[in-house]
Amino acid sequence: MEENILVLGDSGTGKTHFAVQLFGRLFKSPTAIWKPKATPENMEIFKSGFERLAKGLEIEHTPSAFHQDITFCVTNASAAEINFTYPDYAGEQLRNLVADRRLNRAWQDRVQSSTSWLLFIKINNIKEVEDIVTRGMPNYGEISKTRAEESQDNFQLGDQAFYTELLQMLVRIKEASFLMPSSLPQLTIMLSCWDEYKIDNPDISKPGTALLDKMPLFHTFLHANWPKNKLKTIGLSSTGRKLDEKVPDEDYLDNGPEKFGYLVGTNGIEERDLTAIISLIHND
C-alpha cells in the first residue's frame, strides 16, 4: 500500500533541517535500506540547505513567501513506496489554520490523501503555563475584585490547546473519527532539537516522558484517542547540536553533516541512522 506522510510543524520546529539531513543521507549513503525513488522536482530548498550544513552553519529560516509543496518519494528493496509531503513549506499557516478554522482546497486534498502524519514540536520551546493551579492566586490586594475589562488582544491558544485543536481539526478534515480508531492515520510526534531539551532535562530519556512532562493535556488527548500501534513519540536532533548562523562548526567542516544527527526511539535509545525513521513510520 502506498503511504503518504504529511509533514506538519509550526515554523521553527526543524522541518527543514530534518528534510535536508534525511535527504542528504538517502542520496549519499549507498547502504541505506531506503532510497530516493527520483530526484524531487524542486531541489531548491534542499540545495541551499546542503550548502549551509556543509559550511557548518544553521540553515536559514524558510521564507514565508516560499509557497510550494515539497514532495519526495522513497522506496526499498521490496518496492514499498513512501511519499513525504511538506505542505506550504514555510509552515506559518499552521497557526492561522487553527485560529481561523479554514482550509483551502489544496490543504484539504493533502490531508485526505495522507495515511500518516509527522508532527514536529520543538519541545524545549513549549512554554510552561503559569496559572492559578501551578502558581496560585495573587494576594488579595493584587487581584481585582471587579472583573477587569481585560483586553484579549494578546490572547492566543496555549501550546497544548493549539496542538490538540490542530489534530481534532485535521481528523475531521480527513473525515476520520475518534469513535473509529481504525480511521485515524499513523501519528508520529517528532520532538525536535532533542539535544537542546536534553541539556535542560538530563534525567529524562524517553521522548514520551518528555511530552507528558511538558504537555500533560496534549499527552492524555493523544493516548486517549490514538491506538497504541498508531502513535509514536520520537526525539530528533537532525544536526546533533545547535549550529550558529554565522560561525561555522569546526567538526562539521571536518567530518561532514552526514556524521551528525540522531533519533531517540520510544524506548529512549539513540539511533544514529536518521533514515531509521522511515522504517519506524513504516512499522518495520
Partner 1 sequence: MKDCLQPDCIPDVTGCMHGYQTATITKCKFYKPEQGPKAKTERKQETAQLIPWAGVSLGQRDIADLAASRSLSMFGIIGVQNSGKTTLLTLLYCLLRQGHKIGTYHFAGSLTLPAWETLAYYMTWKTGNHITFPPHTPGSAGRIPGLLHLTLMNESGKVRDILITDAKGEWFKEWAVNAAAETAQSPSWIHEHSSAFALVADCDELAGPERGTARDELKDLFNRLVNNLNDRPVALAWTKSDITIRPAMKENILEHLKLGAVAIPDFNVSAYKDKKDDLGEDYWQLRVLSLFDYLLNATENKSITLPDIPSVRPKDLFLSKRMK
Residues near partner 1 (CB under 8 A) are: 64-67, 88, 92-93, 96-97, 99-107, 129-138, 142-145, 147-150, 152-155, 157-158, 160-161, 164-165, 168-169, 172, 178-179, 212, 216-217, 219-221, 224-225
**Residue placing its CB nearer to partner 1 in the complex, 39 or 177:** 177
**Residue placing its CB nearer to partner 1 in the complex, 78 or 229:** 229
Q: Which grid coordinates belong to 178?
A: 475518534
Q: Which grid coordinates belong to 53?
A: 550544513
> Rounded to whole angstroms, how far apart are CA atoms 215 and 194?
15
| Whether 52 contacts 59, CB under 8 Å | yes
CB of 165 to partner 1, least distance (A): 5
**Residue placing its CB nearer to partner 1 in the complex, 54 or 173:** 173
CB of 211 to partner 1, least distance (A): 11
> Rounded to whole angstroms, how far apart are CA atoms 142 and 144?
6
Stretch (H or E) spanning 5:
strand 3-9
Count the Cβ atoms, other than its own, within 10 Å of residue 245. 10
CB of 135 to partner 1, least distance (A): 6
| Whether 46 contacts 52, CB under 8 Å | no
**Residue placing its CB nearer to partner 1 in the complex, 135 or 259:** 135
Query: How far does CA 216 lie from the centroid of its chain?
Result: 18
CB of 264 to partner 1, least distance (A): 22
For residue 75, count CB atoms less than 10 angstroms from its CB and return exposed for 0-12, middle for 13-18, buried for 19 or more: middle
**Residue placing its CB nearer to partner 1 in the complex, 104 or 112:** 104
CB of 62 to partner 1, least distance (A): 13
| Whether 74 contacts 82, CB under 8 Å | yes
CB of 112 to partner 1, least distance (A): 14
**Residue placing its CB nearer to partner 1 in the complex, 82 or 123:** 123
